[in-house]
Structure 1
Amino acid sequence: MTDTQTRVALVTGATGGIGLAVTDRLVQDGFAVAVHYAGNKAKADETVAAIKARGGKAIAVSGDVADDEAMTAAFDAAEAEFGGLDVVANTAGIMLLSPIATLKLEDLDRMHRTNIRGTFVVSQQAARRLRTGGALINFSTSVTRLQFPTYGAYAASKGAVEAMTLVLARELRGKDITVNAVAPGPTATPLFLEGKDQAALDNLAKAAPLERIGTPEDIAEAVSFLAGPARWINGQILFANGGIA
């Protein structure tokens, strides 16, 4: 069990890309962390071992974010280990790209299950479990503003994330729990970089006034802000994109 001064976070999708950077940043901020994974147990165990090696507190928890029983068990495990939860950073999501006219409906359903139902399930657990002074941070995308071709179904799923985030913030009136979403722009994760040549990356870098592509650490900084000092920011979508939109 942690002492009463240690804040506790559960990070979904914590084993790759932005989720891993968020996990690392919250550990740096002094959080004990429940490292959630869906399928990559080896990476989760490696992440936990690395956190413990540098003196941090962490456990691995598993489950499909869209499975309410699995996520109930994950939240239960975090509470049993650490005594409670103060922050939930819900980075888990999938992105399947295609023009709307040719998108396979099974791909639409997959994104709906993970991005919409999964966010709903995790948000529901967070609303029930977070301690006073807690924070839920969901994940949207700057593509809801950028309207890039082939991103239609993905952006639609994240539009739903924004809607439920804003409503939940109002529903938790009086509980001293903030609910916000981070909406990253182009970010140099392995998934994002895959299949893009240098010219495409250079063009994306020029789109932002800061003239670079974001890093996972940039996004983790925004999560750290919402998880810690940003108590007067509530019911908002924070666009972390270098000014691209």
Structure 2
Amino acid sequence: MNALPVLRVQDAEVVRDGNPILREMSLTVRAGEHWALLGSNGAGKTTLLSLLGALTHPTRGTVEVLGHRLGRVDLRQLRSLVGHVNPRHDLRSPLRVRDVVLTGLTNTTERVPRWEPTPAQRTTADRLIDLLGLADRVGARWPTLSQGERGRTLIARALMPSPRLLLLDEPATGLDVAGREQLIDRLDTLQRAHPELASVLVTHHLEELPPGTTHVMLLRDGRCLASGTVDEVLTSDRVSACFDHPVRLTRVDGRWNVRARRSVGPLVD
């Protein structure tokens, strides 16, 4: 594996209109690690993800993405090297699944006029479509896809340039139980199929974490409350403090479950 970190954030802060959004944020992500950013609304998860995806600069501190320091590199070029999955994909044409996936090579929303993929690129697209469980929908058009199918299509699209880093911004939002479980199953398959790929996933819900999640950062009020391996960070006490509500965590077959703690007494993990 590459010895250099995929992501390195040191004492980063983001201030907007005089208001601090992120404070004293530090994070290092290495190849093969799968991080989750957890916190309530307004905790700073999406802002941190925008730094990691080279979408914005820090007000203070340093952010290095794939070895390139923000402020010393062309952000647009750097973004093309990151697999950033945005569920609010503004596609207006009724493209077929394969065509949507192939736009990951041109880093555009629509097909580029007169651009044609090579046979090898088509093969790669079909392999990723199959990996994400969409082989039977390869010819389906975007408007006919369910929200879950769209999300998995966008993940395949993000993987087309063979990125070292995959960013997922609340990928399970709005999905029903079946859609959520299909997504989690495919993310778990993806992590095993691409062992050097690093990923960062933003969510509010521990139930949405794939079993292969290796590290977690808990955020509250723009600060890091705890950061480290899942076993170190995901405790009932820490998650209760993160969400300002007493909860009890359980873990079965690698999946997390959260319930409100109703009785008075110490929490047991």
Bigger radius of gyration among the two: 2
Taking structure 1 as the reference length, the TM-score comes to 0.33
Instruction: Tell which has more relative contact order, 1 or 2 (C-alpha 8 A, sep 6+).
Output: 2
**Normalized against structure 2, the TM-score is what?**
0.31
More strand as a share of residues? 2
Q: Which has the higher helix share?
A: 1
